Amino acid sequence: MPRFTANIAFMFAELPFLDRIEAAGKAGLDRVECHFPYEHSIAELKARLDGAGIRMTGLNTVPGDTAKGEWGRAGMMGAEDAFRRDFEQALSYATALGVSGIHTMAANVTPETRERSLEVYRRNIAWAAKQAAGTGVKLLLEPLNSRDMPRYLVGTSDEIARIIGEIGEPNVTLLFDAYHIQIMEGDLTKRFERHFDRIGHVQIAAVPSRAEPDDGEVDFRYLLRMIDASPYDGLVGLEYKPRGETAAGLAACLKALGC
């Protein structure tokens, strides 16, 4: 089966953030990803990761001012300087910790500003791709579904794939999150095959609950077998919200998936 990485923004949330690293190791996983680790220094994170024998594989750029409804600034008009600071911060953490992918968050926008925001997004992502060139760090562009995030700039994998093609930088890739893509587009197998050459990372969670991917409308046993049989050699992020205690739910889920 594909190699898993635990998203400790959601998993082990019953513990303080740094303690989740060791908890993932005790649960049998040797990789973690997260959203926003920036309240902790690189030195703190590295000490915890090294001490537990865990590798961090992914993180996000900061969302911005969430009290004002911000959710990323790559596509926010007039915030180019703030975005550059956001990305430089994320890249400094990624390169120091050996992280392979940065989810470069777009923005919440209004319908009136969407087209201009997409132009800003393309320019900012092209700039960020050049900053990351030669570091081994990929930019991950993720579509978010409009049910959970109704104002997010990009909502479908087809749109992200088109933007990646327009930018034309090899380190700009699609974050194929099966939860969001199933809600917005469905047809996961064929969509994975269609966008395969642009996929930099995969994430899974049950639909519609976003809990452990052993229930709901998607047959993840089938999907994971398909991914495993494909040329994709990246990781699969377990980005789900546990129904209860994380370790017990993880063990039951992996058993149900045949892992």
Residues designated as active site? 142, 239
d(CA 162, CA 225): 27
CA 135 to centroid of chain Cα atoms? 19
Q: How far is CA 42 from CA 6, 138, 142, 237, in A?
A: 19, 19, 25, 22
Token readout for 58 is: 């992914």
First to last CA, the chain: 6
Q: Are 141 and 101 in contact (CB under 8 A)?
A: no
Q: Are 184 and 155 in contact (CB under 8 A)?
A: yes
Q: Are 232 and 193 in contact (CB under 8 A)?
A: no
User: DSSP class of residue 201?
Assistant: E
Only one residue has tokens 């969430």, namely 66
Q: Which amino acid is at 246?
A: T
Q: Which residues of 86-118 are buried (b: 16+ CB within 10 A; e: fewer)?
A: bbeebbebbeebebbbbbbbbbbbeeeeeeebb
Collapse the DSSP code of 173 into the 3-class scheme (helix H, G, I; strand E, B; otherwise coil) and give the result. Answer: strand
* Cα three-residue angle 90-148-174, rounded to 5 degrees: 45
208 upstream amide cis, omega within 30 of 0? yes
